[in-house]
Amino acid sequence: MKEKIDINTWIRKDHFNFFNAFEEPFFGVTVDVDCTSTYREAKQNGASFFLLYLHKSLVAANAIEPFRYRIIDDEVWKYKTVHASATINRPNGTFGFGYIDFDEHFNDFCLGANKEIEKVRATTGLIGSSSGENVIHFSALPWLNFKSMSHARSFSHQDSCPKISFGKVRDENGKKIMTVSIHVHHALMDGFHVSAFVDQFQELLNKNQELILG
């Protein structure tokens, strides 16, 4: 479900028209987050650490309205909910793209995510599932403590989906620290909104939730 935004009366009208004309309208930041509590939470409950922090990042993204904005045929639409289009690693070193529905309950989210992971790992191709515009493009580089990141782009293809990448978890002063790269379309949001996402994500990482895994 999505709702069209009237650009002519939108508070971001000038910002949208300015940045949407750019050949490269995306900007990105790289930040560190403290995932100590979430890492411990996953280990204590036998849950996937990846799926747990992925779910919390989706909760945060859905809470920050601009992360649900998309540009379709030069019109701005606001989706009610956004989901995950994530890279799924295979044991042979390749990966495929998987589509994972967001559910506010982690246990239900996990059920769908694990099915999608099994599906992608059972294939050899790149695109295992199709997705629409109401997704965030997620990727993980759990082997690399990167300091910045860029993404491959097809400039002939209109794309306004945020791109979030997670790095290697490292130990610092008794804490588990993870680098997160966030790239977003500047016609739809600014640094203020990215900061709000990071703050919301960190708050969720600091909290434990009741996990019932079957």
Strand partners, 97: 87, 127
Q: Does 183 qualify as catalytic in the annotation? A: no
Q: Which of 55, 151, 186, 193 is catalytic?
A: 186
Is the distance from CB of 120 to CB of 97 less than 8 angstroms? yes
How far, in Å, are 18, 81, 110, 120 from residue 12 at the CA level? Answer: 10, 21, 36, 39
Closest to 187 in 3D by CA, of 63, 58, 70: 70
Is the distance from CB of 160 to CB of 185 less than 8 angstroms? yes
Token readout for 91 is: 């044991």
Residues 6 or more apart from 92 whose CB is under 8 A from it? Answer: none
Helix, strand and coil in the chain, % to nearest 5: 35, 30, 35
Closest to 141 in 3D by CA, of 167, 164, 117, 163: 167
Strand partners, 140: 166
Strand partners, 197: none
Residue ranges in 46-122 assigned as alpha helix (H): 49-63, 106-121
Catalytic residue IDs: 186
